[in-house]
Amino acid sequence: MSEFNPGFSKALGWLGAAELKAKSVLDVVLAALGLFVLSPFLVLVALAIRLDSNGPALFKQTRTGLNGKSFRIYKFRTMTVQEDGPVIQQATQGDTRVTRIGQWLRCTSIDELPQLLNVIRGEMSLVGPRPHALAHDEYYGRAIPTYARRFAAKPGITGWAQVNGARGATPAVADMQRRIALDLWYVEHWNLTLDLTILARTVAEVARRTSAY
């Protein structure tokens, strides 16, 4: 993987202490509120997963976070496998590894909701570059020279790339290059208004149920 250069993050004008603090406070407040309001629903989803197929309700996988520091991401389990190694196959349309309820969870992005816990733990933000599996970080880090610059910001549950159509599988390197270009645009232009705009657009994007399987 391309080496992350901490000087890149220090050079960005948007990384003021006050602005970062405001973003962190917004993240924790909204994540805590979301967990509180959605907790009965999340329990039902977890129960449905356990009844639908063998395995835990939650899926945990190592991802890369701010400044290249790794963390364990939480998702609702949607597959019969729980890959977290040097080779991880991206989900494709009609993927037989996806469970029955997993298809619905992925289509609606409900499988991402446990990441509210990652936000409260300070490992993620509501908005930021989406974190990828370590195996994909290694592969695309070698293929795309600017890839590691996305680690200048906390990874997000949603991001600028996702609301601009760059979500789902990346069968070609060019697909990931477009996503990275959008991620880096976000890193360089971040502000709270942009975050709120992305959150609003995410609701519309999820309602369209595009590029998720």
| Domain extent at residue 45 | 6-208
Cα distance between residue 142 and residue 136, in whole Å = 10
Say which residue the tokens 């993620």 belong to.
Answer: 124
Please indicate, yes or no, if residue 1 is contained in any of the structural domains. no
pLDDT of residue 13: 47
**Domain-embedded: residue 185:** yes
Asked whether residue 170 is domain-assigned, the answer is yes
- 213 occurs within a structural domain: no
pLDDT digits (tens, 9 = 90+) for 20-38: 888 999 999 999 999 999 9
Confidence (pLDDT) at 211: 54
Is the whole model's pTM more than 0.75, yes or no?
yes
**Neighbouring-strand partners of residue 71:** 63
- Does 186 map to a domain? yes
Q: What is the pLDDT of residues 145-199, one digit of tens each?
A: 999 999 999 999 999 999 998 887 888 899 999 999 999 999 999 888 999 999 9
Q: Count structural domains, the chain.
A: 1
Q: How far is the C-alpha of 129 from the C-alpha of 180, rounded, in Å?
A: 8
How many Cα atoms are found within 13 Å in the side-chain-facing hemisphere of 100? 7
Q: Is 72 a member of any domain?
A: yes
